[in-house]
Amino acid sequence: QVHLVESGGGSVQAGGSLRVSCAVSGYSYREFRNVCMGWFRQAPGKERERVADIRMVYSARYADSVKDRFTISKDNMKSILYLQMNSLKPEDTAMYYCAADGNPGTDCRRGSYDYWGQGIQVTVSS
């Protein structure tokens, strides 16, 4: 029922910027507005890590490694999740995935991610 499709990846040089998008279907407007969504990334040979998550507009959280460089946001009218990535570093290179909780209204700290996108590659060269 819920489908997530990432777009906007690519290759950039260190210090550059990139915005990835996640188009979401299957939630009503109210559900999307109230659901926890997150961005994750995984590089070859490394564990998947949570980059950022958000439920309501005030609730965004970030991994220390991306804090002050990345911004997660929701367009509730269009049901799109964004990740704006600035000051990119080679260590940001990974496959990036968006994910969503199957239970709208559950706080990101307490919920789980039931739906995942296919992933999109972000490559940062030095």
Q: 93-103: per-residue pLDDT in tens?
A: 999 999 999 99
pLDDT average, residue stretch 40-60: 95
Name the one residue in this structure whose structure tokens are 């590659």.
121
Sign of the C-alpha dihedral, residues 71, 72, 74, 78?
A: positive
pLDDT average, residue stretch 17-28: 98
pLDDT average, residue stretch 59-79: 97
Residue 1 clears pLDDT 90, i.e. is over it: no
* Vertex 44: Cα angle to 40 and 117 (nearest 5): 35
The confidence score (pLDDT) of residue 85 equals 98
pLDDT average, residue stretch 80-105: 97
Distance of alpha carbon 102 from alpha carbon 83, whole angstroms: 20
Distance of alpha carbon 35 from alpha carbon 31, whole angstroms: 6
pLDDT average, residue stretch 18-31: 97
Contacts of 28 (CB under 8 A, 6+ apart): none
Residue 114 Cα distances to 53, 84, 87, angstroms: 14, 23, 30
Residue 56 clears pLDDT 90, i.e. is over it: yes
pLDDT average, residue stretch 30-56: 97
pLDDT average, residue stretch 30-41: 97
pLDDT average, residue stretch 60-85: 97
Residue 108 clears pLDDT 90, i.e. is over it: yes
